C-alpha cells in the first residue's frame, strides 16, 4: 500500500517538480522555486506560490498546494521513506534531520545544529541526492527563526549569558540571562555578520512576520519588549511605536503597507490591531469587546494563525482553557465568523484541532493531533502520548461548515517516539 501511494504521489508531483532536472529540464525546477523572500519562523516551512518545503520528525517533504499532496524529498525507487526509529537501515534521501530546508539557485539547502555554537549548512540536488556540507556559521546554543531574502539568510540565535546567570538557583526560565543575536549570512560567500544583540533576564529576539519589503521582530526583556521593522537592503532596524504580544505572529495586510498584530490589554485579554506604516497609525481591528462576545470567560489569549484572502484566521481561548474557538476576520467591516472545523474534529475521541498553517489559492493546510492515555506516573497523574497530522481543507468547504478534510502527511511516530499505525493508533 505504501509503495502504491508513493508511485501515485510521484506521478502527480515529484516527477514534475523535484525530478525535472533528470529530464533535461532543470531550469524549470530552479525557476519554480526562485523567490526573493521566504519566511521560515519557528523552523516552519519554506513557502512558495506552488507549494512548500518542510521538515517533520526529521523527514523532508515537498507539499504541492494545487494537488494537496506531500512527497518525501527522495527519488530512490521502492524507498519506503521510513524514519530510523522504524528502520535502522533506512537510507532515504529525505531522512536528513534538518531543522529547516529551502531551495536556492537550483539546490536544496538544509540547516541543522551539529555542535555547540555552530550551525551547519548543507546543499543537495532538489531530490536529495549529492548532499554536501558546504560550511558553518555562528549559532549560539539554539536557533529560533529564519528568513531568506535574495542571497541573504537572516536567522536568530540564543545562548545563556553565563556571566550574568552564574551558578545560583533560578526560580524559572524567565530568570535566565540570555544573549540573543540576529545574523545575516550571504549564501554565495558564506560570510556571516552579527547585526543585533539583546541581553537580559528572559530576553528574546523573534521574527514575527513580514513581506519581501520588511520584517517585524520583537526584542527586549520580560519587563520591556519593543517592536522593530527590519529593512533588508540597509540592514537597519527602526523601532515602532506599538505595544504587542511578545511572541505573537503578525500577518501583513494585503494591498497595504500595514500588518495585523496582537495587543495585550490591561485586563489580561488580547485584541487585534492593525498598524499602518505609511500613516504611522495604530487602528483597532478586532476589539476586546468583539472577542469577549464569543468566549465564556473574562480573560483570554489570541493567536494569529494564517492569512485568508483579504483577511486572517485567529484562535482565541480563555485562560482556564474552558472555552475556545477559531475565527475568520475577512475585513474590518465584517463580523467575526466562527469556523466549525475544530468542533468537527473534536467529535472523534482524543482528536483536536491544533492550528492553521498555510494558505493556498483554493484551500488551507492545518495541523490536528490525537492524544492517547499511556498510563499513570508514580504520582498517579495520567500520562498521554500525542500524534499529529498535516491536513487540508478547501476554502468553500471550510466556510460552509462541510467536513471535507484530506490528510496530507500522516505521522510515523508519536511525540514519545512510539510507532503510529496506518489507522492512526499509537503503538505502545
Q: Which of 32-36, 190-194, 294-298 has the lowest mean pLDDT?
A: 32-36
pLDDT tens by residue, 124-166: 998 888 999 999 888 877 788 999 999 999 999 888 876 654 5
305-334: average pLDDT? 89
Q: Is 356 left (phi over 0), alpha (psi -120 to 50) or beta?
A: beta
The confidence score (pLDDT) of residue 49 equals 86
CB 248 within 8 A of CB 304: yes
Whether the predicted pLDDT of 107 surpasses 50: yes
pLDDT interval class at 375 (50, 70, 90): confident
Q: Residue 17 above 90 pLDDT?
A: no
Which has more pLDDT, 140 or 187?
187
- Maximum CA extent, the chain: 63
- Mean pLDDT, residues 329-337 taken together: 87
Three-state secondary structure string covering the chain = CHHHHHHHHHHHHHCCCCCHHHHCCHHHHHHHCCCCEEEEHHHCCEECCCEEEEEECCEEEEEECCCCEEEECCCCCCCCCCCCCCCCCCCCCCECCCCEEEEECCEEEEEEEEECCEEEEEEECCCCCCCEEEEEEECECEEEEEEEECCEEEEEEEEECHHHHCCCCCCCHHHCEEEEEEEEEECCCCCEEEEEEEEEECCEEEEEEECCCCEEEEEEECCEEEEEEECCCCCCEEEECCCCCCCCCCEECCCCCEEEEEEECCCCCEEEEEEECCCCEEEEEECHHHHHCCCCCCCEEEEEEEEECCEEEEEEEECCCCCEEEEEECCCCCCCEECCHHHHHCCCCCEEEEEEEEECCCEEEEEEEEEEEEEECCCCCEEEEEEEEEEEEEHHHHHHCCCCEEEEECCCECCCCCEECCCCCECC
Residue 97: pLDDT band (50, 70, 90) is: confident
CB of 184 within 8 A of CB of 230? Answer: no
List the grid coordinates of 114. 551539529
Q: What is the CA radius of gyration of the chain?
A: 22
pLDDT at 32: 56
State how far the Cα of 245 lies from the Cα of 295, in Å rounded to an integer. 20
With a cut of 50, say whether residue 35 has pLDDT above it: yes
pLDDT for 246 beyond 70 = no
pLDDT beyond 90 at 295: yes
* Residue 2, pLDDT score: 44
d(CA 399, CA 328): 9
At 348, give phi and psi (nearest 5°): -80, 135
CB contact at 8 A, 272 and 244: no
Can you read off the three cell numbers belonging to residue 402? 462541510
pLDDT reading at 211 higher than 60: yes
Mean pLDDT along residues 70-88: 91
The pLDDT, as a whole number, for residue 172 is 46
CA distance 30 to 28: 5
- State what percent of residues in the chain have pLDDT above 90: 53
Amino acid at each position: 500500500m505504501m509503495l502504491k501511494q508513493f508511485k501515485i504521489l510521484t506521478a502527480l508531483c515529484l516527477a514534475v517538480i523535484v525530478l525535472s532536472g533528470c529530464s533535461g529540464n532543470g531550469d524549470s525546477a530552479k525557476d519554480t522555486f526562485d523567490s526573493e523572500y521566504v519566511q521560515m519562523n519557528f523552523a516552519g516551512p519554506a513557502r512558495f506560490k506552488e507549494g512548500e518545503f518542510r521538515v517533520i520528525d526529521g523527514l523532508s517533504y515537498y507539499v504541492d498546494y494545487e494537488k494537496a499532496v506531500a512527497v518525501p524529498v527522495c527519488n530512490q525507487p521502492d524507498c519506503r521513506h521510513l524514519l530510523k526509529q522504524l528502520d535502522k537501515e533506512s537510507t532515504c534521501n529525505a531522512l536528513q534531520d534538518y531543522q529547516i530546508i529551502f531551495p536556492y539557485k537550483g539546490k536544496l539547502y538544509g540547516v541543522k545544529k551539529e555542535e555547540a555554537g555552530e550551525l551547519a549548512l548543507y546543499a543537495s540536488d532538489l531530490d536529495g541526492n549529492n548532499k554536501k556540507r558546504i560550511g558553518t556559521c555562528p549559532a549560539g546554543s539554539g536557533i529560533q527563526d529564519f528568513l531568506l531574502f535574495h542571497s541573504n539568510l537572516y536567522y536568530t540565535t540564543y545562548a545563556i549569558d553565563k556571566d550574568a546567570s552564574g551558578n545560583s538557583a533560578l526560580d524559572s526560565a524567565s530568570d535566565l540571562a540570555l544573549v540573543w543575536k540576529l545574523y545575516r549570512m550571504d549564501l554565495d560567500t558564506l560570510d556571516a555578520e552579527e547585526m543585533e544583540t539583546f541581553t537580559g533576564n528572559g530576553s528574546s529576539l523573534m521574527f514575527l512576520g513580514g513581506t519581501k519589503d520588511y520584517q517585524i521582530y520583537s526584542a527586549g526583556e520580560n519587563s520591556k519588549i519593543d517592536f522593530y521593522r527590519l529593512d533588508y537592503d540597509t540592514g537597519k532596524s527602526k523601532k515602532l511605536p506599538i505595544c504587542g504580544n511578545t511572541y505573537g505572529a503578525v500577518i501583513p495586510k494585503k494591498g497595504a503597507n500595514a500588518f495585523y498584530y496582537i495587543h495585550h490589554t490591561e485586563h489580561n485579554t488580547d485584541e487585534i490591531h492593525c498598524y499602518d506604516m505609511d500613516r504611522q497609525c495604530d487602528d483597532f481591528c478586532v476589539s476586546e469587546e468583539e472577542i469577549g462576545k464569543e468566549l465564556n470567560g473574562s480573560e483570554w489569549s489570541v493567536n494569529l494563525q494564517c492569512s485568508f484572502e483579504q483577511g486572517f484566521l485567529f484562535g482565541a481561548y480563555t485562560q482556564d482553557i474552558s472555552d475556545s474557538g477559531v475565527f475568520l476576520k475577512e475585513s474590518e467591516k465584517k463580523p467575526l465568523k466562527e469556523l466549525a472545523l475544530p468542533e468537527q474534529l473534536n467529535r472523534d475521541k482524543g482528536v483536536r484541532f491544533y492550528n492553521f498553517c498555510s494558505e493556498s489559492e483554493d484551500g488551507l493546510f492545518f495541523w490536528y493531533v490525537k492524544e492517547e492515555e499511556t498510563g499513570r506516573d508514580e504520582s498517579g497523574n495520567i500520562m498521554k502520548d500525542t500524534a499529529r497530522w498535516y491536513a487540508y481543507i478547501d476554502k468553500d468547504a471550510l466556510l460552509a461548515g462541510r467536513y471535507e478534510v484530506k490528510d496530507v502527511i500522516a505521522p510515523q511516530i508519536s511525540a514519545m517516539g512510539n510507532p503510529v499505525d496506518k489507522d492512526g493508533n499509537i503503538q505502545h
